[in-house]
Amino acid sequence: MTNHWVDIKNADLVLIMGGNAAEAHPCGFKWVTEAKANNGARLVVVDPRFTRSASVADVYVPIRTGTDIAFLGGLIRYLLENDRIQHEYVANYTDASFIVKEDFAFESGLYSGYDPERRTYDRSSWDYELDENGYVRTDPTFSHPRCVLNLMRRHYSRYTPEMVERICGTPREKFLEVCELVASTATPERAMTIMYALGWTQHSIGSQMIRCGAMLQLLLGNIGVSGGGMNALRGHSNIQGLTDLGLLSDLLPGYLTLPRDHEQRFADYITARTQQPLRPNQMSYWQNYPRFFVSLQKAWWGEAAREDNDWAYDYLPKLDRVYDMLQTYELMYQGRFNGYLAQGFNPLAAAPHKAKLAAALAKLKFLVVMDPLVTETSEFWRNFGEHNDVDPSTIETEVFRLPTTCFAEEDGALVNSGRWLQWHWKGADPPGEAKTDIEIMSRIFRRLRKLYEEEGGAFPDPILNLTWPYANPEHPSPEEIAKEYNGKALADVVDETEPTRIVRRAGEQLSGFGELRADGSTACGCWIYAGCWTEAGNQMARRDNSDPTGIGQTLNWAWSWPANRRVLYNRASCDPSGRPWNPERKLIEWNGTRWVGADTPDYPVDQDPAAGMGPFIMNQEGIARFFGRAALADGPFPEHYEPFETPLGYNPLYPDERRAVSNPAARVFEGDRREFGNAAEFPHVATTYRLTEHFHFWTKHVRLNAIMQPEQFVEIGEELAAELGVAAGDRVRVISNRGWITAVAVVTKRIKSLDIDGRRVHTVGIPIHWGFTGLARPGFLANTLTPFVGDANVQTPEFKSFLVRVEKA
């Protein structure tokens, strides 16, 4: 989230799209209820299904799954055509006036630089034009044909209400009703929040859907303000913490990145990431990358990370490619993995194309499952009748199950969607022989290190030299690890402008990332967490909920990264001179000498606004980008592409361009392409999702949840049900090109069949929660059906749009 849960109560308009907050985040949804009841807010829900969120919405609008960019692009067009944007915000805080390179082009769904063989772009033309000083050229009059605003206007001119209706199936008058509501927040006194979740991420164009939402918010001046923002609702209680700590194959903690193959030299790595300003007097905060990186290396390797060995840069692996979930299972499927540790993860249930996953797991020599529950993954080799019809005698994989504690059986911090690190305390002892994940990993690590000590190896240094300063090396405490993330001074740290002044004594906990140094005098395990456990103690355990300004800014409740800042980009809540756009919901303001207010300023506290530093300090430009430059793999502007399994078979924007039907830059493995289904054989559009009664594949092990929703079902609309002769409660078979499931049919008015470019399209809803282990009635894994393809940038699987055929069972 750019903002946080409580801040949603300040919204005037709540747009839930690509998510179902009431269903999947019922506790956080209370703030939507607050906004409606006490702030007169209106709630708009755009979704293929009339959801639990829609049940309390003022306006519900149907949309075909996977077509959100067409809808959002139509909204952008509406705002530009009708001049319903916040002009001063757009002119000062975005790249609208920046001029783009002359060789940038977009035609028939393809951007300049496309290589159809490799399905990738040469992105060098996707950039601004720079002047002789290396600064970007701009046209504040917006008359240059290649300024971003005009390129954007041209790009989205195709997304007319008629086109939106053709692609999305959304009735025109409904779409225009939403346009008018959204446009009403272009004024400084009104704010819209966008709440989204996996309904946007789980598409082959997921990253661009989210970007498109952010562009809409920028046009309206809704980023950085109270009651506004782009608010990602994280799906697990600590998934925000997972990404913060870099638990993805190409990340390091704090969104630092692992080196690539071509970055064998430290200088190449660090120069590429130490971004210089693209305009005069901009902060470009990533200029501090060396401080974060060196401090991380010091936290990991201590004395072994020295200036003369480039801070142990050679210890880091250099990636030949990103080993995301799909890539990993593809390689496993090819038989190129011997062993696999599934820690708190149930890939047989959670990854697409169950048959492929089962075959991949069967090629392993060993599989270790660390989990509090008996997961389907740990039982993949056992026959459960039609729900898991395998022959155990043909599977040689040796499976080890290591029972772990669950969150309530250990201390620690969970990071919520609003970036708050909230410390929690153990509620009960774990049952049986369960151990914490920390203890299990520590013991495995120490055994491995002993093997390296005794037997050597190709390059044992990173393992042998890893710092392990814990009181009980077999079981580091959560407190010790939290302190390590925060970081400490290894030597006295001095003020950089006043070198005689010591700001932090050696051995002390750091107060924030401002104290980090690139000379090896500080260690910090995750720079954005610096400040969570200072000399003043555990800031995450704070429980003072006083809210002096009444807008939900409880700065003494827990701790939020970065720097206990609750609303990111909050400098943009003020006009260029430093006056709040909306004095009623004031986050910060310039008092003539300092920035003060209800939040930690996202800006240097003594920076006079007259100097013109932009509010988006992490960007080289100091402003926010409509034009994404080369940051994303599939284009600088979001563009609608069909899901890989499309009910149309063409892209209505350019029906004859075969290369741009679906995302031209998405990675597709050869075998998986053959397993995509087509609309002739699989005419129904399917989407998977969660229900309130369950959490993923966990709570079917819990009696109370199993009572609330005991048996697997799929949802179909009344029209499709009539066509199939199916009544509510009948069993149906749902078939994709990768497998089939059977389930009870819930026949509902809440799923409407849509008219898509002249054809009738039926949607099938498939809740994911059942499987062949647990207390609920046994069922099929929903991912038996889903396609093995992901987003072009982050490879999140396309769980939300694929093709099936429904039959009466």
Please report whether residue 730 would count as binding another protein according to CB under 8 A: yes
Q: How far is the CB of 42 from another protein (least distance, A)?
A: 8
Among 744, 760, 778, 809, the residue binding another protein under the rule CB under 8 A is 744
For residue 560, give the nearest of 696, 427, 423, 449 by alpha carbon.
Answer: 423
Q: How far is the CB of 700 from another protein (least distance, A)?
A: 10
Q: How far is the CB of 75 from another protein (least distance, A)?
A: 21
Please report whether residue 414 would count as binding another protein according to CB under 8 A: no
Q: How far is the CB of 707 from another protein (least distance, A)?
A: 5
Site string for another protein, 299-328 (x = CB under 8 A): ------------------------------
| Span from 52-60, 116-124, 514-522, 606-614 in contact with another protein (CB under 8 A) | 52-60
Pairing of strands 533-534, 537-538: antiparallel
Among 5, 60, 269, 802, the residue binding another protein under the rule CB under 8 A is 60
Please report whether residue 263 would count as binding another protein according to CB under 8 A: no
Please report whether residue 517 would count as binding another protein according to CB under 8 A: no
Task: Name the residue nearer to another protein (CB basis): 44 or 633.
Answer: 44
Q: How far is the CB of 713 from another protein (least distance, A)?
A: 5
Task: Name the residue nearer to another protein (CB basis): 53 or 793.
Answer: 53
String of DSSP letters for 661-680: SB-TT----HHHHHT---TT
CA 429 to the chain's CA centroid: 33
Cβ neighbours around 725 below 10 Å, total: 8
Please report whether residue 22 would count as binding another protein according to CB under 8 A: yes
Please report whether residue 218 would count as binding another protein according to CB under 8 A: no
Among 745, 764, 782, 785, the residue binding another protein under the rule CB under 8 A is 745
Q: Which residues of 758-776 are buried (b: 16+ CB within 10 A; e: fewer)?
A: eeebbbbbbbbbbbbbbeb
Task: Name the residue nearer to another protein (CB basis): 118 or 777.
Answer: 777
Question: Which two structure tokens, joined as six digits, stand for 86?
Answer: 């916040």
Q: Which residues of 493-512 are buried (b: 16+ CB within 10 A; e: fewer)?
A: beeeeeeeeebbeeeebbbb
Among 36, 155, 566, 684, the residue binding another protein under the rule CB under 8 A is 36
Task: Name the residue nearer to another protein (CB basis): 319 or 775.
Answer: 775
Q: How far apart are CA 140 and CA 98, in angstroms?
A: 8
Task: Name the residue nearer to another protein (CB basis): 495 or 755.
Answer: 755
103-162: contacts with another protein (CB under 8 A): none
| Span from 484-492, 573-581, 666-674, 727-735 in contact with another protein (CB under 8 A) | 727-735
Task: Name the residue nearer to another protein (CB basis): 62 or 241.
Answer: 62
Strand order in the sheet with 398-403: 339-343, 366-371, 398-403
Residue 499, helix vs strand vs coil: coil
Please report whether residue 52 would count as binding another protein according to CB under 8 A: yes
Please report whether residue 184 would count as binding another protein according to CB under 8 A: no
Given a contact cutoff of 8 angstroms between Cβ atoms, the answer to whether 674 and 687 are in contact is no
Given a contact cutoff of 8 angstroms between Cβ atoms, the answer to whether 17 and 47 are in contact is yes
- Which stretches within 664-798 are classed as H helix? 670-674, 703-708, 718-724
**Measured CA distances, 648 to 592, 642, 721 (Å):** 59, 8, 21
Q: Which residues of 163-179 are buried (b: 16+ CB within 10 A; e: fewer)?
A: bbbbbbbbbeebbeebb
Among 395, 776, 789, 804, the residue binding another protein under the rule CB under 8 A is 776
Number of residues that bind another protein (CB under 8 A): 46
CA 188 to the chain's CA centroid: 28
> Apex CA 231: angle with CA 228 and CA 234, to 5°?
160
Neighbouring residues of 286: CB distance < 8 A, sequence distance ≥ 6: 273, 274, 275, 618, 620
Q: How far is the CB of 200 from another protein (least distance, A)?
A: 21
Q: Quote the DSSP letter at residue 801.
A: S
Phi-psi region of 196 (alpha: psi -120 to 50; beta: other; left: phi over 0): beta
Task: Name the residue nearer to another protein (CB basis): 50 or 142.
Answer: 50
SS (H, E, C) 199-239: HHHCCCCHHHHHHHHHHHHHHCCCCCCCCCCEEECCCCCCH
Among 14, 54, 79, 665, the residue binding another protein under the rule CB under 8 A is 54
Q: How far is the CB of 93 from another protein (least distance, A)?
A: 33
Please report whether residue 176 would count as binding another protein according to CB under 8 A: no
Please report whether residue 444 would count as binding another protein according to CB under 8 A: no
Q: How far apart are CA 51 and CA 689, in angstroms?
A: 11
677-716: contacts with another protein (CB under 8 A): 692-693, 703-713
Please report whether residue 428 would count as binding another protein according to CB under 8 A: no
Task: Name the residue nearer to another protein (CB basis): 172 or 579.
Answer: 172
Q: What are the residues binding another protein (CB under 8 A)?
A: 22-23, 26-27, 29-30, 33-34, 36-37, 40, 50, 52-56, 58, 60, 692-693, 703-713, 727-730, 744-750, 775-777
